[in-house]
Amino acid sequence: MIDDNKPIKGWNHIPEVPLRVSPFFRWPLEPFEMVRWLWSSWFLISERLILVGVAFICLVWTQPVLADIKILKLDWMFQLWVRNIVLMTTIAGGLHLYLYTFKKQGKKLKYDPRPLMAKGRQFSLGGQIRDNMFWTLVSGVTVWTFYEIIMFWAMANGWVPTLTWNDSPFWFVGLFIMIPVWESFYFYWTHRALHWPPLYKLVHSVHHRNINVGPWSGLSMHPIEHLIFLGSVLIHWVIPANPVHILYHMQYFTLTAATTHAGFEGIVVKDQNRLRLGTFHHQMHHRYFECNYGGLEVPWDKLFGSFHDGTRKADNAMKARRIRIMGS
């Protein structure tokens, strides 16, 4: 008898399945699991804590003061663009060199056993890596910088609500936690919309050229998708924020696109996963297309019937749903 809770086949590495959503959305509640999740997400070496640090470093060392950006000028706008090029190249390029060029950990924690595609007619520049770098740096970083310019210019002129530590230390800290929660909501629904056939064919198919993903794949999108995806920051026209929150918001959406699409569960040091990267949850989306549109923090996929937990049972359910939709 086949065990439906066994992992699906065809992968090099699969984490423990069935995949589980955040303990804040499991019943019965597990207080110790909730504390452990918060600890691993924020207080150990995690991408979120690292990105908070990066945002503060950028604020101190590379960010023009608001008084100097009330007027749109090429010098400070170009400064933001260069900074973002450096950040994306450092993260995506560094991960690519470490994991794929020099193969420092071989296939340990690598989900897909196949290499990235050296050639392919579906790619704009003939190969996956060149294609991904083009869309990421030429379109992605430009749109990222465009939204930063809008937000900082509006802040400098008093057109959007701002927040300082003295206004509310609690909300100042809490906003760093709420931005990923907003991301999970915003990403799920915009992602589902992008799978509407006309939008998928015109826009989202550029991103889904990458069935086997690498660090440069995360922000490899059509310019329209960049405008939609990164438009999440416009919520701060309503929700007060500090310039450091805008930096964190944009860097969280862009730089974690590189880490979550790294193709590996994490960075291995002394045979242990020391820094979590991509999730198997999203890796499956790139291979199967019709599942796991969101993340594991807030269970949107479970609520709306698109959750694949990595088991054969879930795989069979996905195939049955596909047959119903196709009407055959």
pLDDT tens column, 41-95: 887 778 899 999 999 999 999 999 999 999 999 999 999 999 999 999 999 999 9
Strand-pairing partners, residue 268, are 273
CB-count burial class (<10 Å; 0-12, 13-18, 19+) for 277: buried
- Note whether residue 294 is domain-resident: yes
Domain of 321 in residue numbering reads as 23-326
- Note whether residue 6 is domain-resident: no
- Note whether residue 8 is domain-resident: no
- Note whether residue 5 is domain-resident: no
- Note whether residue 193 is domain-resident: yes
Are the beta carbons of 81 and 142 closer than 8 angstroms?
A: yes
- Note whether residue 15 is domain-resident: no
The whole-number average pLDDT for the span 319-325 is 79
- Note whether residue 237 is domain-resident: yes
CB-count burial class (<10 Å; 0-12, 13-18, 19+) for 38: middle
- pLDDT tens digits, 233-265: 999 999 999 999 999 999 999 999 999 999 999
Q: Which SS3 state, helix, strand or coil, does residue 25 take?
A: helix
- Note whether residue 2 is domain-resident: no
Q: How confident is the model at residue 286 (pLDDT cuts 50, 70, 90)?
A: very high
- For residue 122, the one-letter residue type is Q
Q: How confident is the model at residue 1 (pLDDT cuts 50, 70, 90)?
A: very low
Strand-pairing partners, residue 110, are 264
Structure tokens at 237: 């026209």
Q: Which SS3 state, helix, strand or coil, does residue 268 take?
A: strand
CB-count burial class (<10 Å; 0-12, 13-18, 19+) for 68: exposed
Residue count of the chain, please give it.
328
**Count of domains in the chain?**
1
pTM (global) more than 0.85:
yes
